[in-house]
Amino acid sequence: MIYDIEYETMPREALEAIQLRRLQTTIQRAYANVPFYKEKFDQAGIKPTDIRSLADLRHLPYTTKQDLRDNYPYGMFAVPMDNVVRIHASSGTTGKPTVVGYTARDVDTWANLMARSLSAGGAWRGDIIHNAYGYGLFTGGLGVHYGAERLGTSVIPVSGGNTKRQIVIMKDFKPTILTATPSYTLHLAEVASEMGVSFDDLGFKYGIFGAEPWSEQMRDEIERTLKLTAVDIYGLSEVMGPGVAIECHEAKAGLHIFEDHFIPEIIDPGSGDPKAYGDPGELVFTTVTKEAFPVIRYRTRDITSLNPEPCVCGRTHVRMKRVSGRSDDMLIIRGVNVFPSQIESVLMEIDGVAPHYQLVVDREEQLDTLTVMVEVNEGLFSDEVKQLQALERRISKNIKEYFGVSAKVKLVEPKAIARSQGKAIRVVDNREI
Ligand code: DLL
């Protein structure tokens, strides 16, 4: 179902007219209220009134994660604090977190966009949503929660963790939609199976999974195990939170970006030059309705491409391909680039290998080495050492063939790799120590 039929199926010309009007307002407000933007525009010799078309956006400078950090905590806010009703922060693996704020209208917009997202992912009134995204500074829990209420579904605010209790709740409360990170979803499935609970007996129809990269093969595994249709949801706190883009359950082929609120661009991460439709590169966003925390040409570091083709679902908004990873998560092993999600896709094609893995990067004699630690199923692990070694060699060969990366593969026993309650830690980089 389409939650907001007018905006979600708007012809391009009308959509662009709205984008331009909203963009001009955003630029004016950012220039007037955020010293950082004023300084950057002045340096570039651009006045807000110079933005006369959408193409003019290209003249504005980029904003980076470092810019947000430099203005920690509230320097990028475009409204006085007494207009800010909510604060979230992204954990950030290094340094200070990024702090973001919302006015009451921003929270309202977010709820609408999440209502759109949940319905694109298959939810509708009458559904019961088991929301296992973490509640707190992370935007996942509250983002889904407000959207679920706006849509008119019943939401169970279970958050992440306490996994056994989650399974009991699934059995007793009979939720029909699951929202969680893909890695935590696999953990839920594992614990359910240990408790003797089969997903055949639970009534899930759709799962709305995101917040971390996952492969198409992981989707297959999740759909098979949990007996539901799985869609990919994308977002980031700097731009809003979840609900920036989502796949429709009809096509499951790329995530519709809600373009009446966010203008996407793809650029070359090295040179910053714009890229054409279909070409992979770094995703850049300009928000056009956010009041408290507008971002202008924000470099997400997420790698994807854009597809403007019409979609079977009827939505006219451009689709982004599943994010393969962040440019800063890309591993460069002896000059060859590879994302953890690409290694994942190779692992998941091999029978007997469990979807739990971690990549360990070391430096030996000036050379970077990659070790893929991956769990095997109980049955396989009791096999002869020789057979396991043969399997390790086979996986290693496949990785080399697909991506040209030499990796050592180490099969480990079930449960050897720590389970996540939110975003999984896929890479352990020992080079930094
Ligand atoms: O992860 C918001 C979110 C919550 C999205 C729940 C979807 C569901 P942050 O913690 O700020 O916000 O992290 C944002 O996570 O820049 C991507 O690198 C990554 N990410 C988010 N969704 C996806 C996805 C939330 N579907 C960062 N596929 C982003 C791949 C994703 N990566």
Q: Delineate the domains of the chain, giving CATH numbers in brackets.
A: 1-328 (3.40.50.12780), 331-432 (3.30.300.30)
Q: What integer best gives the mean pLDDT of the chain? A: 96
CA distances from residue 406 to 149, 295, 369, 394, 398 in whole angstroms, order as listed: 49, 40, 8, 12, 10
The response to whether residue 65 sits with its C-beta less than 6 Å from ligand 1 reads no
pLDDT of 93 reads 60
Q: Ligand 1 centre from 221 Cα, in Å? A: 20
Cis peptide before 73 (omega within 30 of 0): yes
Does 187 score more than 70 pLDDT?
yes
Confidence band of 60 (pLDDT split at 50, 70, 90): very high
Find out whether the beta carbon of 147 lies less than 6 Å from any atom of ligand 1.
Answer: no
**Ligand 1 atom 6: the closest Cα is on which residue?**
140
DSSP secondary structure letter of residue 274: B
**CA of 329, closest atom in ligand 1:** 18
Torsion of CA 209, 399, 253, 124, to 10 degrees: -20
Is residue 295 in contact with ligand 1, taking CB distance under 6 Å?
Answer: no
For residue 328, the model assigns a pLDDT of 85
Pairing of strands 206-210, 229-236: parallel
pTM above 0.95, yes or no: yes
Say which range, 49-53, 216-220, 333-337, 381-385, has the weakest mean pLDDT.
381-385
What is the distance in A from the centroid of ligand 1 to the CA of 276? 24
In the reported structure, the alpha carbon of residue 210 is separated from the centroid of ligand 1 by a whole-number distance in angstroms of: 6
Q: Which of 11-15, 88-92, 222-226, 403-407 has the lowest mean pLDDT?
A: 88-92
Say how far apart CA 371 and CA 412 lie, in whole Å. Answer: 12
Residue identifier of the C-alpha nearest atom 1 of ligand 1: 211
Q: How far is the CA of 117 from the centre of ligand 1 (A)?
A: 14
Where is pLDDT greater, at 67 or 329? Answer: 67
Q: Is the CB of 179 under 6 A from ligand 1?
A: no
Per residue in 263-297, pLDDT (tens digit) is 999 999 999 999 999 999 999 999 999 999 999 99
